[in-house]
Chain A
Amino acid sequence: MLNHPTPTDGYETYTSRLQKETEELIKKHRPPHDTAQIELQKKLHFEFLLRNLRQGFPERYTSQDASQPWLIYWTLHGFSILGVGLDDQTKKRTIDTLLAMQHPEGGFAGGPGQTAHLLPTYAAVCSFAVVGRPGDGGGWDAIDRKKMYDFFMSLKRRDGSFLVSHHGEVDVRGIYCLLAVATLLNLLTPELLAGVPEFLATCQTYEGGFCNASFPGWAFEADDPETESGSPKTYDPSAPRPPLGEAHGGYTFCAAASWVLLQPYIKLYYSSAGGSLTPVPSINTRALLRWCVQMQGLPIELGGFKGRTNKLVDGCYSWWVGGCVVLAETLLGVTATHEAVPHEHHEESDEDGQKSWDDADDSLFNRKALQEYILCAGQHPAGGLRDKPPKPADAYHTLYCTAGLSAAQHRVIPSEAREKAVISAWNSSQAHAKAGTAYAPSSDADREMLDELRKGIFTHAMSWSEEDGTAVYVGGAANRVNATHPLFNLTVTHSDGMMSYFYGQTPPSRYANKPATK
């Protein structure tokens, strides 16, 4: 039963042949009956990442020359998930390297002397979250936030979208990168966010996932500095805004995470209390959930995730889609524990153990199977992780397979209790003082709303936590990796640290004893 191939209905096509070949390859890596034997080769993967960091990347990584901050982020965050710290000297060198990629006009580039771009900006800022700190030589204070904000605003289009760079494309990955960075660095304003929810909503396809961008993202007005020639078409806000490209794992994660990050903005700026008559933008969250779970492959493919319908499983989608399910659950409001009571976790080989595992598990995707895919098919025997066997390992897949493993092991969800605790310590004037933009609200009412926005965003982001007893480890606790924040893909230590500094807050510790009841 569990190893039935994908049915082909006696009608083969290129897709079904490729799928069959892949199933033949992957099923060879079926987990042993005694899953306690499955081992995450932490040392090997750490050494794989370390080699790149110390010795440098081989020539074939020239293709990543415009993504240098990504090479750093994949490596450093990979270390963080694997539970490895860095020495001060390496941190210093990393900070200096990253700062060399900061563009004089704001934002970070793919390398020194390249133009600024939203994607490496995210990778650089996240890397700073891992290795940096406030103060001299710590890197954080050397990030020019005001110029970065101006850079963001210069990329903003009329339809609510953003180009990823000057003369670059519109892409939801860019929007996610911008929102994540603006959230971490306290750069969010209503002028930055105007039109963004509407744009994102147009990127959802009939399948429920999200695509790359929607039309008319590139329609320019004649005086738009992004066009240097001729007579472009005029932007028509009433024209249909169809999604360009099919539903895809990477874009779906970016859109879903962006949507969660935008919730405080949507709640504040679209409510009728705010006097706004603009229709509240919405996405189809049930369809999003359906699409995400449909992307999990069959048992014969070890339950890895695909990126698109009728395409192949790939380890990196362990994060992009596996890690997206909890976002869909959050948007649907179904993250709370349902009637099954969590049991003590037993080794999973006996039937009772299996039952208690299932009862304790609230996730809507198969966490155990995803872990098996990553551990049995995703690990390269020489170190590092990969798309699928027999492909070689690379830095990108190493990070996203590891992050996906983390997402399958740990259930990190918004916690009301944690949010309340953070709110109780909220200092509005500090957050205002630390804001990274020159944006000035035009009235007291606007200023109040912006304060509320900052509070809402900060406290929501800080509220994501792992509930005790909800972790599950295929192969046992020795395979445990650290939890990662579902919105940022940073450890909560790193995201908490960065946000606390840039919002001027001192939230209560996550690990303090429970407060005495009043």
Chain B
Amino acid sequence: MSELLADDPEWADVVPIRQYENVNPIAPIFYSEEYKDATDYFRGVLKTGEMSPRVLQLTERIIRMNPAHYTAWQHRYKTVIALKIPLEEELELMNDIATTFLKTYQVWHHRRLLLTALNSIDAAARELEFLKTVLRADAKNYHTWSFRQWILAHFNDEERLWAGERAYIEDLLEQDVRNNSAWHHRFFVVFSSGIRLGDEDRDQMLRRELSFVKEKIALAPNNPSAWNYLRGALEHTNTPFSTLTTFVELYTTSQPPSRGRDEDVVDLDNPPPSAGAQLPAVAALEFLADIYEKEGGDASAKAVEIWKSLANEKDVIRKKYWEYRIRDALSKA
């Protein structure tokens, strides 16, 4: 039983249009019969500008065979709007496509267009929940995260949308402290997008964030995501790196973390490395060198020493870069 539109009397009134007329194309793609058929008819309805229920079916058909067909998505969106299809229904219909083709741009952009048109906090809140299920399957999916951030910024509702994010991120970092997408999301929520409800005291917020990232560094010191977050937080708030000297020095030592710690002394500000930590951590050495470089004067020599050890021993793949840092510092001395 043929599934082709060419054999479907419902489509007999549409003139299919071949992709290439009078051209012998270079590098053709060997489409399946179904795909060729569907896109021939799609070109036909594009020409007449038809926007109808059967066009919705046709665009869905094409999208399932090629989710990157942006023209099909574009025409589908226009048709959904023209036919006044309930947008929540369209969103739900697209859920299956989203989870099947989660690495495709157009899938997410379509949802963004629908949410914009819906203009509803309820829909946005539901979407955030839906995205959590997608992220469970692929915790670093770029488009999903970017889309999540857009929803939060666009609808900008503290209680219904922003409020749950930090806890969600903390969950994800419990599961995988090396999830850079989650760290980026935290920065987005806490630092980049205005002031969150409850974070009006910026000093308190920064103390909390520094405490958080230091704990995570203590857990797994060779985690560039955590160090980048720390550096970002300090730079964003114009807090000198030198305020973290004591903490960082715990991670630049070559001594393995001591097993028996003095139980009476607990330094909350400077959580020490976990028992399994592999020290020194390259990122800690880099951080310390940055502190010395900023200090200048006699400290510059200490920075140079660290960069030399990175270049020649600890981080040899980046030798050229560490040598550049040396030249750069010396040229400014």
**Segment at the B interface, from A62-70, A152-160, A254-262, A455-463:** A62-70
A56-B28, A216-B153, A244-B150 known; A338 vs B23 contact (CB < 8 Å): no
Q: Which of A167, A219, A248, A289 has the most CB of B within 10 A?
A: A167
Q: List 21 A-B contacts (CB under 8 A).
A: A7-B278, A9-B222, A11-B177, A53-B27, A57-B28, A62-B66, A64-B68, A65-B35, A65-B66, A96-B23, A166-B74, A207-B232, A216-B153, A232-B116, A243-B192, A245-B184, A246-B180, A289-B321, A298-B317, A303-B317, A361-B320
A369 within 8 A of B: yes
Query: How many A residues are at the interface, by size bracket?
Result: 35 or more
Residues of B within 8 A of A114 (CB): 69-71
Instruction: Please state if B17 and A113 are interface contacts (CB–CB under 8 Å).
Output: yes
B302 within 8 A of A: no
Closest 8 CB pairs of A and B: A10-B276, A206-B232, A245-B146, A242-B192, A15-B178, A246-B184, A7-B278, A7-B222
List the A residue with the shortest CB-CB distance to B117: A229
In the complex the two chains form, what is the Cα distance from A165 to B70 in whole Å? 9
Residues of A within 8 A of B95 (CB): none
B57 CB to closest chain A CB (Å) equals: 19
Instruction: Please state if A365 and B224 are interface contacts (CB–CB under 8 Å).
Output: no
B230 CB to closest chain A CB (Å) equals: 10
List the A residue with the shortest CB-CB distance to B235: A206
B255 within 8 A of A: no
**Segment at the B interface, from A28-36, A141-149, A275-283, A307-315:** A307-315
A7 CB to closest chain B CB (Å) equals: 4
Residues of A within 8 A of B2 (CB): none
In the complex the two chains form, what is the Cα distance from A8 to B220 in whole Å? 7
Instruction: Please state if B276 and A11 are interface contacts (CB–CB under 8 Å).
Output: yes
A84 within 8 A of B: no
Seen from chain B, the residues whose Cβ lies within 8 Å of a Cβ on chain A are: 17, 19-20, 23-32, 35, 39, 43, 46-47, 65-71, 74, 77-78, 81-82, 105, 109, 112-113, 116-119, 139-140, 142-143, 145-146, 149-150, 153-154, 175-181, 184, 187-188, 191-194, 219-225, 228-229, 231-233, 235-236, 273-278, 281, 316-321, 324, 327-328
A13-B176, A62-B32, A218-B116 known; A115 vs B70 contact (CB < 8 Å): yes
A203-262 interface (Cβ within 8 A of B): 205-207, 211-213, 215-216, 218-220, 227-233, 239-240, 242-248
In the complex the two chains form, what is the Cα distance from A67 to B223 in whole Å? 37
In the complex the two chains form, what is the Cα distance from A231 to B120 in whole Å? 11
In the complex the two chains form, what is the Cα distance from A404 to B328 in whole Å? 27
In the complex the two chains form, what is the Cα distance from A171 to B105 in whole Å? 10
A303 CB to closest chain B CB (Å) equals: 6
Instruction: Please state if B188 and A242 are interface contacts (CB–CB under 8 Å).
Output: yes
A296 within 8 A of B: yes
* From B27, B77, B179, contact of A72 by CB (8 A): B27
**Segment at the B interface, from A40-48, A104-112, A482-490, A496-504:** A104-112
In the complex the two chains form, what is the Cα distance from A93 to B27 in whole Å? 10
B77 CB to closest chain A CB (Å) equals: 6
Seen from chain A, the residues whose Cβ lies within 8 Å of a Cβ on chain B are: 1-2, 6-11, 13-16, 52-53, 56-59, 61-68, 71-72, 75, 90, 93-94, 96-97, 100, 109-115, 117, 165-169, 171, 205-207, 211-213, 215-216, 218-220, 227-233, 239-240, 242-248, 289-290, 293-294, 296-299, 303, 308-311, 334, 338, 361, 363-366, 369
Instruction: Please state if A113 and B68 are interface contacts (CB–CB under 8 Å).
Output: no
In the complex the two chains form, what is the Cα distance from A64 to B143 in whole Å? 19
Residues of B within 8 A of A58 (CB): 30
Instruction: Please state if B32 and A112 are interface contacts (CB–CB under 8 Å).
Output: no
* From A11, A109, A212, contact of B219 by CB (8 A): A11
Q: Please name 5 further chain A to chain B contacts, defined as beta carbons within 8 Å, in addition to the given A10-B278, A62-B31, A229-B117, sorted by A numbering.
A: A13-B176, A57-B29, A215-B150, A296-B318, A310-B224
List the A residue with the shortest CB-CB distance to B142: A245
Instruction: Please state if A6 and B222 are interface contacts (CB–CB under 8 Å).
Output: yes
Residues of B within 8 A of A169 (CB): 105, 109, 112
* From B112, B153, B220, B318, contact of A242 by CB (8 A): B153
B158 CB to closest chain A CB (Å) equals: 14
B25 CB to closest chain A CB (Å) equals: 4
Instruction: Please state if B26 and A111 are interface contacts (CB–CB under 8 Å).
Output: no
Residues of A within 8 A of B281 (CB): 7
In the complex the two chains form, what is the Cα distance from A160 to B22 in whole Å? 40
Instruction: Please state if A2 and B27 are interface contacts (CB–CB under 8 Å).
Output: no
B319 CB to closest chain A CB (Å) equals: 7
List the A residue with the shortest CB-CB distance to B313: A1
